[in-house]
């Protein structure tokens, strides 16, 4: 089945710097890669996602890139702010014989943005 | 819309006790999921349902049972709680299969402690 590895597990940056979180996946048939943000004590919320037919997607200060050949995708946050501090999870969709399945999540990255 | 709600928010059980966690969604979603979140482990799928009256096992189903008698509700049961089931439990729902590019919406979580 699908396996998702996420690095780093913790990341500390200064306010205004950029942050990059990387994930790799094992199933070459996976076609959907969402990123979720979870603030302390809150529920995970989708912040951006990318489909396998797209190499990059941007939404204001966040962007996601996908390299299907290497089977990895990354989250980029520019001009970080203290409110970006949270745990970020990547995920990849499972496939079963061509059918679409569930999400497999990475273990998360705790991002701390220091003022 | 309330979105996805969970009952209760907190619960302390003694080893061997049973309980049921209730998840409700008002978005007319077909798919519903139960995850557990443990420190450093990300979100792991326990059971899921692709429609009313159907359930299926996820990655970590042992010790749990589920039921989906109504489309809007998804119940998670612990028949004989064990300390290893101490965790934060999240319910989620989606219009279609996540592999089919449908966002999962999460509930606020239930913090369960088994002593």
Q: Which two tokens stand for residue A31?
A: 């076609």
- Say whether A56 sits in a helix, a strand or coil: strand
Contact residues, chain A, for B101 at CB < 8 Å: 31-32, 49, 51
Which phi and psi (to 5°) does residue B101 adopt? 75, 30
Q: Identify the DSSP state of A25.
A: E
Q: Which two tokens stand for residue A71?
A: 């089977």
Q: Does B107 touch chain A (CB under 8 A)?
A: yes
In which residue are the tokens 């692709």 written?
A: B50
Please provide the average confidence, as pLDDT, over all residues in chain A: 92
Cα nearest neighbour of A102 on chain B: B98
Q: Which two tokens stand for residue B70?
A: 């109504």
Confidence of residue B21 (pLDDT cuts 50, 70, 90): very high
pLDDT of residue B97: 73
Confidence of residue B25 (pLDDT cuts 50, 70, 90): very high
Chain segment B57-84, per-residue pLDDT in tens: 999 999 999 999 999 999 999 999 999 9
Confidence of residue A95 (pLDDT cuts 50, 70, 90): low
**pLDDT value at B1 more than 80:** no
Confidence of residue A29 (pLDDT cuts 50, 70, 90): confident
Closest Cα partner for B26 from B50, B54, B2? B2
Confidence of residue A100 (pLDDT cuts 50, 70, 90): low
Q: How many CA atoms lie within 13 A of A44 on its CB side?
A: 31
The secondary structure of chain A in percent helix, strand, coil, rounded to multiples of 5, reads 5, 60, 35
Average pLDDT estimate for A36-44: 96
């Amino acid at each position: 089945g699908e396996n998702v590895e996420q690095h780093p597990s913790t990341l500390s940056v200064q306010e205004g710097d950029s942050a990059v979180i990387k994930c790799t996946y094992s199933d070459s048939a996976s076609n959907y890669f969402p990123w979720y943000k979870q603030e302390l004590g809150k529920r995970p919320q989708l912040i951006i996602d990318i489909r396998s037919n797209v190499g990059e997607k941007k939404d204001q200060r966040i962007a996601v890139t996908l390299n299907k050949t290497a089977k990895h995708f990354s989250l980029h946050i520019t001009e970080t702010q203290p409110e970006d501090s949270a745990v970020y999870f990547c995920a990849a969709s499972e496939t079963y014989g061509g059918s679409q399945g569930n999400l497999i999540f990475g273990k998360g990255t705790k991002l701390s943005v220091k003022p | 819309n309330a979105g996805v709600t969970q009952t209760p928010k907190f619960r302390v059980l003694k080893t061997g006790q049973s309980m049921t966690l209730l998840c409700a969604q008002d978005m007319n979603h077909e798919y519903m999921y139960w995850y557990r979140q443990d420190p450093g482990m990300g979100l792991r799928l326990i059971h899921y349902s692709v429609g009313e009256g159907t359930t299926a096992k996820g990655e970590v189903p042992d010790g749990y049972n589920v039921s989906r008698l109504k489309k809007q509700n998804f119940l998670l049961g612990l028949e004989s709680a064990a300390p290893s089931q101490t965790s934060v439990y999240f319910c989620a729902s989606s219009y279609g299969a996540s592999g089919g590019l449908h966002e999962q919406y999460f509930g606020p979580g239930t913090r369960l402690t088994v002593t």
